[in-house]
Structure 1
């Protein structure tokens, strides 16, 4: 199924005076078969406006384009594709993988080869046992408070209910004109208890030199808003949730982890997850005295 959006310029007039001008506005549509009046109604619902006297469109085009999460729109695509589907949101960990430039790559070595195991087991029975040496910041991983704070909770302390089946609020930001994701992006949604997933599209560079610079990130005021909103987890498909090119400060990590909000970095395939309605899971192993570890992150579309 295909998603559709309306692109338009418009004037919104109010019955008690005043007006709003919308220029280059984009709005999710339930289908391509909508009238101008339907678009006007959806615009008013999306903006949460009251006492609207009328909407006048100066230009209006309906285009094929993935939804971004406009309020009041449940697309045919979302309803039909959300039946018992799981989307893998994790990068594959392999020997030599470069996740974050400057950090060590995973090394996989055999502890017991299949050939050597044949001498230990019955004929026809063989096993392989391998050792992987890697930093916790490998592939798609989760940061616990211990990653940032010596007295913060480690991986073993995390409650499963804060990691499994969280309502996913996905913000599709691939057409954003700035690197920093501000608090205003989140104003139109109730995010309490949710996994907020930031789809920037930067995962297209994962494993290449381009991934290391110019990456999108969550601003300090954006992180503060999410803390105040009471979210459970924040994930991003980018190099880091903070701006690593602005010096050594890490305000997003600092604020989120201090509030006990999990951080998942280096997600992928978020474009396959609708803005609302999915469930998100990302569970690391239960390791004491450890702050960060790879997860198998996924979304359930049902």
Structure 2
């Protein structure tokens, strides 16, 4: 069977600063018509790089040459079915606590909580020693840690009542720890370190570290976000869900454009915003769950998002 290698000079930049140069680099590739974008992904995985911001090539060509054993070339490896650990691993709560008066997003009302039936009043209805409290909560769907369904963006999109549980429960978590990034926008190249097959059907969780500002005025400005380029990469990879521990999956300071919401929800990919504690998750191996109530005609709602770590961790 004929084998091929790409030959090129490359400049690799990192989201947390710095760069890497390569001259006359040769890399095994799966076929003759491989694109520069595919080779960029292969290069990142071959070198074991993380926090990549971009890859630029010069003098790029593909030559007929026997493979030398570059890592990451076998794109047919089945990474979608990791071995299940016996027993349940530790659980990590990834949700913010909702309380009366909590401001999640500037301009959206805070929740209010009031009693419908107090314990004192219930004593008149029930047997001696038996009492209950029933409360009423008024809150916008965009409160605390919440999930967006397609209906949030599209009038004819599926609402919360239509979301299949298998797309919300026990998803493989692919976590990208980006808290050291020097730029607000998360580019596509960040995801090159893992095969696309690993991202397909997974919950991609973006750990920016911004959640430490949650509940303060500093949370509202300068928040990290997923770029349109990065969004398109994840849509093409077939992810099931994208979550972020920041104000919004989009750049709220861009003048109203929302490419991440637009593209993800159009593709039926769930969005979870305002996560927390992502620093406690490994890059791979955890399982992610975020389930909203089954409400018709509603697009967003708070979730109790959590991750199950591999047993023994």
Task: Give TM-score, length-normalised by structure 1.
Answer: 0.76
Number of positions where the alignment pairs a residue of Structure 1 with one of Structure 2: 243
- Deviation string, structure 1 residues 241-278 (Cα, Å, up to 9, x no partner): 00000111100000000000000000000000000000
Alpha-carbon distance between aligned partners in 2 of 1:45 and 1:242, rounded to the nearest angstrom = 30
Tell me the equivalent position of 1:281.
289
Unaligned runs of 5+ in 2: 1-5, 21-44, 50-66, 71-86
Identify which range, 183-192 or 199-208, moves more after superposition.
183-192
Given that 2:11 and 2:19 are in contact with CA atoms closer than 8 Å, whether structure 1 keeps it comes out as: no
Inter-CA distance 233–21: structure 2 relative to 1 (3 Å threshold): closer
- Deviation string, structure 1 residues 134-187 (Cα, Å, up to 9, x no partner): 100000000000000000000000000000000000000000010000111111
- Deviation string, structure 1 residues 5-46 (Cα, Å, up to 9, x no partner): xxxxxxxxxxx99887889579xxxxxxxxxxxxxxxx9562
Alpha-carbon distance between aligned partners in 2 of 1:44 and 1:191, rounded to the nearest angstrom = 17
Alpha-carbon distance between aligned partners in 2 of 1:252 and 1:17, rounded to the nearest angstrom = 34
Unaligned runs of 5+ in 1: 1-15, 27-42, 54-81
Q: 1:88 aligns with which of 87, 93, 98?
A: 93
Tell me the equivalent position of 2:138.
133
Q: 2:274 aligns with which of 266, 281, 292?
A: 266
**In structure 2, the residue corresponding to 1:187 is in which secondary structure?**
helix
Tell me the equivalent position of 1:10.
none
Alpha-carbon distance between aligned partners in 2 of 1:17 and 1:163, rounded to the nearest angstrom = 42
Tell me the equivalent position of 2:150.
145
Tell me the equivalent position of 1:112.
117
**In structure 1, the residue corresponding to 2:48 is in which secondary structure?**
helix
Q: Give the deviation of 1:84 after TM superposition.
A: 1.5
Q: 2:189 aligns with which of 184, 187, 190?
A: 184
**In structure 2, the residue corresponding to 1:167 is in which secondary structure?**
strand
Tell me the equivalent position of 1:300.
308
Q: Give the deviation of 1:52 after TM superposition.
A: 8.6
| Runs of 4+ off more than 6 Å | 16-23
Q: Give the deviation of 1:188 after TM superposition.
A: 2.2
Tell me the equivalent position of 2:209.
201
**In structure 1, the residue corresponding to 2:200 is in which secondary structure?**
coil
Alpha-carbon distance between aligned partners in 1 of 2:116 and 2:8, rounded to the nearest angstrom = 74
Task: Give TM-score, length-normalised by structure 2.
Answer: 0.73
